[in-house]
Amino acid sequence: MNVTARKGVLVALCFVALCVEGFAQKKAYTGFPSLVWPKLYETTFVKAHDANGEYEKPVFKESVKTLSGKTIALPGYMVPFENGIKGKHFMLSSLPLNACFFCGVGGPETVVEVFLKEEVTYTEKPIEVEGTLILNDKNPDQMIYVLKNAVITGEAGF
């Protein structure tokens, strides 16, 4: 094979490699596996008391505290609070519904309370939600993780 033919083959191989790489980057969901959920799972709990009695108070690790007030994206499953097919307030579970916190398998560190900017139709499909993470260690009537000003960025393909 002469020099010109080798250069042509090399250019063609580079073109194919770039096309394949570009195609691989066009996935619908790029956050899986989530790097945030494992950090949230590190939260532990201690017994605490307030005027209403005893409760489990979260103790956030430094890796979780660094996320507080920042915009994060999380994949998960919707768990609606209210009846109906639409809403702005729901739980996002890192686990499928049959294994979520409310079914006894996961702990409170596996769910995030979500407040969306706009009302959406609830879905059983996995989704990705983006919003500002708030850490809650004071109000036992609210989840320990709250996502405010959130938007659904799309379906999570897992």
> What CATH number is associated with residue 39?
2.40.50
C-alpha 39/C-alpha 56 separation (Å) is 19
User: Residue 22: what pLDDT?
Assistant: 38
Indicate if 79 and 9 belong to the same structural domain: no
User: Residue 96: what pLDDT?
Assistant: 77
Each residue's pLDDT tens digit, 92-150:
998 876 656 566 667 888 899 999 999 999 998 999 999 999 999 988 788 999 999 99
Please, which pLDDT band fits residue 83 given cuts at 50, 70 and 90? confident
C-alpha 140/C-alpha 4 separation (Å) is 73
Indicate if 21 and 41 belong to the same structural domain: no
Backbone dihedral angles phi then psi of residue 7, each to the nearest 5 degrees: -60, -40
User: Residue 25: what pLDDT?
Assistant: 36
Among residues 52, 44, 34, 58, the alpha carbon closest in space to that of 130 is found at 34
Domain that holds residue 58: 31-155
Indicate if 6 and 62 belong to the same structural domain: no
Q: Quick check: 42 and 33 in contact, CB under 8 A?
A: no
C-alpha 4/C-alpha 1 separation (Å) is 8
Burial 129-154 (b: 16+ CB within 10 A, else e): bbbbbbbeeeebeebbbbbeebbbbe
User: Residue 1: what pLDDT?
Assistant: 56
More confident residue, 26 or 79: 79
CB atoms within 10 A of CB 109: 22
For the cut 50, the answer to whether the pLDDT of residue 17 exceeds it is no
Indicate if 65 and 5 belong to the same structural domain: no
Number of domains in the chain: 2
The pTM of this model reads 0.74
Please, which pLDDT band fits residue 34 given cuts at 50, 70 and 90? confident
Indicate if 22 and 36 belong to the same structural domain: no
For the cut 60, the answer to whether the pLDDT of residue 28 exceeds it is no
Indicate if 57 and 79 belong to the same structural domain: yes
For the cut 70, the answer to whether the pLDDT of residue 20 exceeds it is no
Indicate if 16 and 88 belong to the same structural domain: no
Each residue's pLDDT tens digit, 53-82:
888 899 999 999 999 999 999 999 998 887
Indicate if 66 and 80 belong to the same structural domain: yes
Indicate if 6 and 40 belong to the same structural domain: no
Indicate if 10 and 86 belong to the same structural domain: no
For the cut 80, the answer to whether the pLDDT of residue 5 exceeds it is no
